[in-house]
Chain A
């Protein structure tokens, strides 16, 4: 049985249909990279799965239970965690407090504040610093940690490397690699699709609210991905 099943999911922003009837299955422990241009609907889709955006139609089944109308905080308890775009840390709280607030009512599991700080050692010396004073990479690591302490079975990560320096990107990818495992599925959105494809088992490309390409990262050619990404047709497109 798959861990996550989306069936004909439609998500709207007012009149704009940002996600237009998307269906997807993810297995336990699978790492899936979701790529696509700005405005393709990736963030909306992730927020829809996490419960922060209410679907217009379609269904979301998680671990065999329909959660389409379940509020976000209850989905966290079921095992879905989102690392939101732009980190969205609680800036006035310390790193440790950011992790602690996420532990209040969640699944029991292998992760707690101490084991997250072990797994993300760069956070250890920062634990009593206010999150608002951290660098972008440190904030992203904290945001990943904050999602991990909820012991997710499905970790959604939105724009992992956006706005980070190249060194910080290396850092957060290394951090992500070190925490993937134990059957936790990951749905990763990133602009840097070579890196995203490198860490994932499968790659899905989204264009204007729909999935247009799907396959193993190693089997898809760069040309195929580029055409799907920009929505180009035919062979002349390679010049782009």
Chain B
């Protein structure tokens, strides 16, 4: 029965990975930018919430409310001022730009907050310790459940935005073909900036989830990036919106089962599942959906190589 508990805990952990992966998948799907600073942006969001909590003694969820708009604006500016320019010079430049931003964020955080490990779990009262006992083996922590539900809501909201709203349709059009999008009246750079703002906003939620469920420090970003990246790849490289959440759940289950076999195997078993999926002929759980399906889809990862070019 401990296996059942492992799987349940893995699914719940997958909710966290799903949140962290969501923004990464969005930016890759819409702009083909692999944002290496994604984990650091999440940690930055966590530190901003931490900063507010040092001055006001309130709940982290209340502190999120002013931090979220700040992060949305930061995301918008990040795209407008840095990434949009770097996109003009090929696929490699944005990658290097985000790598640089990652280092800058880590160092600024260390300068501002020091190297200490922090956690916001203590600021939520009983949320961290509360749990529902299902039976003698399985119990569900309130915080894990909350994070999982938040993940589902985030993905559902994003799906609704992309498939039902006119701004979402413009985002899908600009993701498929920014050149043609411009020709039908879509300001593609503005749409891209909005996508990055949303991605950074969701990363902030991921940062809060991280800060609540465990500890974080100035250099916690790259680890989160790796988990997010693995979730995105396992889920099929942006081929489907929900793929990243599913990838996160697979990663979470792999880690909890690995930890059950041997406490040291937790992270490595996640990496092994990632490598197996990467090496499998299909290269991702949901990539088979690129030919059909009904949900809103981002451009498939493979399209990176066959992106339509302007003709003479």
- Chain A residues within 8 Å of B, Cβ to Cβ: 13, 18, 39, 43-44, 47, 50-53, 71-73, 76-77, 81-82, 84-86, 88, 90-93, 97-98, 100-102, 104-106, 146-147, 150
Contacts and interface: CB of A to CB of B under 8 A. Distances in A.
A52 B173 contact: no
**Among B183, B185, B186: residue with most chain A CB under 10 A:** B183
Interface of B: 166, 169-170, 172-173, 176-177, 179-188, 297, 299, 308, 310-312
Contacts of B180: 84, 88, 90
A73 B187 contact: yes
Given A88-B177, A90-B180, A92-B176, A104 B185 contact: yes
**Among A51, A101, A106: residue with most chain B CB under 10 A:** A101
Contacts of B176: 90-93
B312 A44 contact: yes
B311 A150 contact: no
B182 A101 contact: no
Question: Top 4 nearest A-B pairs by Cβ distance?
Answer: A76-B185, A102-B184, A72-B182, A88-B180
B195 to A, nearest CB: 15
Given A92-B297, A100-B166, A51 B182 contact: yes
Given A92-B176, A93-B173, A104-B185, 11 more contacts: A44-B312, A53-B310, A73-B186, A81-B184, A88-B179, A88-B308, A90-B181, A98-B173, A101-B166, A101-B170, A101-B186
B312 A43 contact: yes
21 contacts: A52-B179, A52-B182, A71-B182, A73-B183, A73-B187, A76-B183, A76-B184, A77-B185, A82-B183, A84-B180, A86-B311, A91-B176, A92-B297, A93-B173, A97-B172, A101-B166, A101-B170, A101-B186, A104-B169, A104-B170, A147-B184
A136 B310 CA distance: 19
A72 B310 CA distance: 14
A72 B183 contact: yes
A5 B47 CA distance: 57
Given A39-B312, A43-B312, A88-B177, A101 B183 contact: no
**Among B177, B180, B184, B310: residue with most chain A CB under 10 A:** B184
Contacts of B308: 88
A101 B312 contact: no
A173 to B, nearest CB: 22
B295 to A, nearest CB: 11
Contacts of A81: 183-184
Nearest to B182: A72
Given A85-B311, A92-B297, A93-B169, A101 B179 contact: no
A162 B179 CA distance: 20
A100 B312 CA distance: 28
A165 B311 CA distance: 22
A104 B184 CA distance: 9
Contacts of B297: 92
B159 to A, nearest CB: 14
A44 B183 CA distance: 14
A39 B312 CA distance: 8
B310 A101 contact: no
Contact of A84 (B172, B183, B187, B312): B183
A43 B186 CA distance: 21
A118 B181 CA distance: 24
Nearest to B185: A76
Nearest to B294: A130
B134 to A, nearest CB: 41
Contact of A18 (B169, B177, B181, B312): B312
A73 to B, nearest CB: 5
A53 B181 CA distance: 14
A105 B310 contact: no
Nearest to B296: A92
Contact of B181 (A39, A101, A106): A101
Contacts of B170: 101, 104
Contact of B184 (A13, A71, A146): A146
Contact of A104 (B177, B186, B310): B186
B188 to A, nearest CB: 7
**Among A18, A47, A90, A146: residue with most chain B CB under 10 A:** A90
B182 to A, nearest CB: 4
Nearest to A18: B312
Nearest to B297: A92
Contact of B312 (A13, A91, A92): A13
Contacts of B311: 43, 85-86
A51 B182 CA distance: 9
B227 to A, nearest CB: 28
A103 to B, nearest CB: 8
Contacts of B182: 51-52, 71-73
A72 B183 CA distance: 6
A85 B181 CA distance: 14
Contacts of A88: 177, 179-180, 183, 308
A102 B185 contact: yes
